[in-house]
Amino acid sequence: MNIVCLDLEGVLIPEMWIEVAERTGIDELRVTTRDISDYDKLMRYRIDILARNAITISDILEVTRTVEPLPGAADFLIELRRGFQVAILSDTFVQFVDTIMATLHHPFLLCNRLVVDGSGTIVDYELRQRDGKRTAVEAFQSLNLRVQAVGDSFNDISMLRAADAGYLFRPSQTVVDAHPDLRQASDHDELLRLIRAGALSSVVPDSV
């Protein structure tokens, strides 16, 4: 049995922090896991910027509630789910994606949570599990599932390496240069073809 594990931001929806950066005019928030591979360092950087600019969770939700899926992403996900079980494994935060998940027909999602104080200030974050994407893939494999995985950034690499087949979707050149052996897709149609081909290659023919 096959399951496909997808990153969320950069694969199905825009990068939420870039959306916040564009709406608030704070260019420092454009930095993502494509730029900084250390996720904790990146999040401490973001939380510090939000505090210095007095940006609260309410300000961020005003942005994230208006975000729509990437062009073609919703149709891709519908078509993918016709033939595969699908799990979304993301380093985003449940507060960010509550609205947009409805537009994707509520696929199974594992992500993290922001810690917010009484004034609405984001003071910390809680990981569901350290290196949670990789461990989720390994857990599915322990259930005798064949796992294909898709991501776009440095924080997806351990998931892609753990999977039976892993693909980069529209990665930055920095990510490509660091991992040139990983197969890539430039659009959702190509990605769907890769996944379907990956499923077929796992089928072992009966002995004659």
Residues noted as catalytic? 7, 9
Q: How far is CA 155 from the centre of its chain?
A: 9
Question: Would you list the DSSP string of 43-100?
Answer: HHHHHHHHHHTT--HHHHHHHHTT--PPTTHHHHHHHHHHHSEEEEEEEEEHHHHTTH
CA distances from 55 to 28, 97, 127 (A): 13, 18, 21
